[in-house]
Amino acid sequence: MSWNIIFEPILPLVLILVLAVPGIAILAYSLYRRARGAPWRIAVLGVLVLALANPTIRQEDRETVPDIAVLVVDRSQSQDIGMRPQETSAALVKIRENLAREDGIETRVVTARNDPGNEEGTALFSALAQALSDVPRERIAGAILITDGEVHDVPKEAAALGFDAPVHAIIIGRKGEKDRRLHIIEAPRFGIVGEPVKLSFRVDETSAGEKPTGESAIVTLTVDGVVTATTKAAIGETATATLALQHAGPNVIEIDVEKGADELTTINNRAVVTANGIRDRLRVLLVSGEPHPGERTWRNLLKSDPSVDLVHFTILRPPEKHDGTPIDELSLITFPTSELFDEKLDQFDLIIFDRYKRRAVLPLAYFLNIVDYVENGGALLAAVGPAFASPFSIYRTPLAALLPAQPT
């Protein structure tokens, strides 16, 4: 409880001064002339001015508001290494116990985690700003960060914090800890199958930073799980490896650096990139069934591109058809079904069925081969017509599992 005197003027302060100045001047002149009763006149003027100032005695009951101390706990992925989780928890308990013994301190604990898919890293100061968003600046006692030191949002200037209070850091870990990290500098997004592509990377070590130390580490490169190259890379220097994409489509390239002595973790010793393999020439198998005007369009379109190797067969009559045509007048060749759909199917990049319908030429086993071919990265295009909705539709084969629409 406290007492104080405040003034709440009845009239504006300027008006009170305007009224008081002439009276003061007259009283001063009376004193100069030593007029009788001048002191009483001064007292009356003082009482009048004091009454206009309206003095008030105020009784205040004040409640002490505690200052806010924020503990920011780093629970990012790097804090899950070794004994760091236990050390962090122990430090948090100890600090809270010490702050609890201080009068006028309220403790807030905020946990900062990082998203594995977020490339911005650990943001402790963002968590601190959010925790203090509802606290007046004069109530902020300070902040304590419990972290391993890997913080990626440190402000450039202290003024950016928005408060004038100390910020301390409790660093978790041991002095001299080592950890290797693999960084991909440049990786190909695509490459020609069988042709060499270059991949640039760098191996860093916490004890050395990005400065070359003369030490080296063994790096292993695998493509789709198969080891293709092993090389030595100098710590802190950019290295380049050459490898070949084995097939068309996505090729998963994995780079792995060997574990160093007394290394904390091998989680960041590995990196994976995907490169799409493309062929310099496109091998296409075009199987035409029912003759139609668009058949020549398909052939002309594919033959116009010199990078396309086209194998085209048109099935005009099934093998069991007998219409009396003399054998010596037949100029057709036998459809090499076994060679195309069993032995050499994986050599094609695209299979096109153009108005094809089941005519006892391709057994169901060959359609199963096509399904496996597509599931392993091959491409299938079905250009259909009215026969697609007939009982002889290719939808009545195992290809139904691949086709996007069902005939009605």
Assess whether pLDDT exceeds 80 at residue 398.
yes
Amino acid 262 reads D
Asked whether 169 and 154 are in contact (CB, 8 A), the reply is no
pLDDT at 317: 60
Assess whether pLDDT exceeds 80 at residue 111.
yes
Residue 247 counted as domain residue: yes
Half-sphere exposure of 175 (CA within 13 A, CB side): 0
Residue 407 counted as domain residue: no
The Cα 268–Cα 256 span in angstroms is 9
Rounded mean pLDDT, 223-246: 86
pLDDT digits (tens, 9 = 90+) for 302-345: 888 888 888 887 776 655 555 555 555 555 566 677 788 888 88
Q: What is the extent of the structural domain holding 255?
A: 180-278
Asked if 263 and 191 sit in the same domain, the reply is yes
pLDDT digits (tens, 9 = 90+) for 147-188: 988 888 888 888 888 888 999 999 887 776 777 888 889 988
What is the maximum alpha-carbon separation in the chain? Answer: 159
Residue 408 counted as domain residue: no
The Cα 195–Cα 243 span in angstroms is 8
| Mean of pLDDT over the chain | 81
Residue 328 counted as domain residue: yes
* Reported pTM: 0.50
pLDDT band with cut points at 50, 70 and 90 for residue 52: confident
Strands in 193-329 per DSSP E: 196-205, 216-223, 226-234, 238-244, 249-257, 270-278, 282-288, 308-314
Assess whether pLDDT exceeds 70 at residue 372.
yes
Amino acid 57 reads I
The Cα 264–Cα 382 span in angstroms is 55
pLDDT at 393: 83
Rounded mean pLDDT, 269-288: 85
The Cα 165–Cα 142 span in angstroms is 5
pLDDT band with cut points at 50, 70 and 90 for residue 120: low
Rounded mean pLDDT, 195-204: 88
Asked if 297 and 396 sit in the same domain, the reply is yes
Nearest CA-CA partner of 166 in 140, 193, 186:
140
Asked if 163 and 264 sit in the same domain, the reply is no
Q: In this predicted model, which residue has the larger pLDDT, 32 or 378?
A: 378
Rounded mean pLDDT, 15-35: 77
Asked if 333 and 379 sit in the same domain, the reply is yes
pLDDT band with cut points at 50, 70 and 90 for residue 210: very low
Asked if 23 and 104 sit in the same domain, the reply is no
Residue 142 counted as domain residue: yes
Residue 406 counted as domain residue: no
Half-sphere exposure of 141 (CA within 13 A, CB side): 16
pLDDT at 319: 54
Q: Which of 278, 304, 337 is the last residue of a domain?
A: 278
Rounded mean pLDDT, 92-121: 83
Asked if 159 and 228 sit in the same domain, the reply is no
Asked whether 255 and 271 are in contact (CB, 8 A), the reply is yes
Helix axes 38-53, 13-32, angle to 10 degrees: 170
- Helix/strand/coil (H, E, C) string of 61-80? CCCCCCEEEEEEEECCHHHH
Asked if 336 and 286 sit in the same domain, the reply is yes
CATH number where 317 lies: 3.40.50
Q: In this predicted model, which residue has the larger pLDDT, 321 or 393?
A: 393
**How does 235-262 read in b/e, with b if 16+ C-beta sit within 10 Å?**
bbeebebebbbeebeebebbbbbeebee
pLDDT band with cut points at 50, 70 and 90 for residue 228: confident
Asked if 43 and 73 sit in the same domain, the reply is no
Asked whether 67 and 136 are in contact (CB, 8 A), the reply is no
DSSP letter, residue 317:
S
Rounded mean pLDDT, 138-151: 88
Share of the chain above pLDDT 70, in %: 89
The Cα 293–Cα 274 span in angstroms is 42
Q: In this predicted model, which residue has the larger pLDDT, 21 or 110?
A: 110
The Cα 230–Cα 274 span in angstroms is 19
Rounded mean pLDDT, 359-369: 80
Cα angle for residues 364, 368, 369 (degrees, 5° grid): 115
Asked if 366 and 256 sit in the same domain, the reply is no
Distance of CA 226 to the CA centre of its chain: 29
Q: Which of 236, 254, 278 is the last residue of a domain?
A: 278
Residue 162 counted as domain residue: yes
Asked if 260 and 158 sit in the same domain, the reply is no
pLDDT at 71: 94
Asked if 107 and 215 sit in the same domain, the reply is no
Assess whether pLDDT exceeds 60 at residue 209.
no
Number of domains within the chain: 4
Residue 331 counted as domain residue: yes
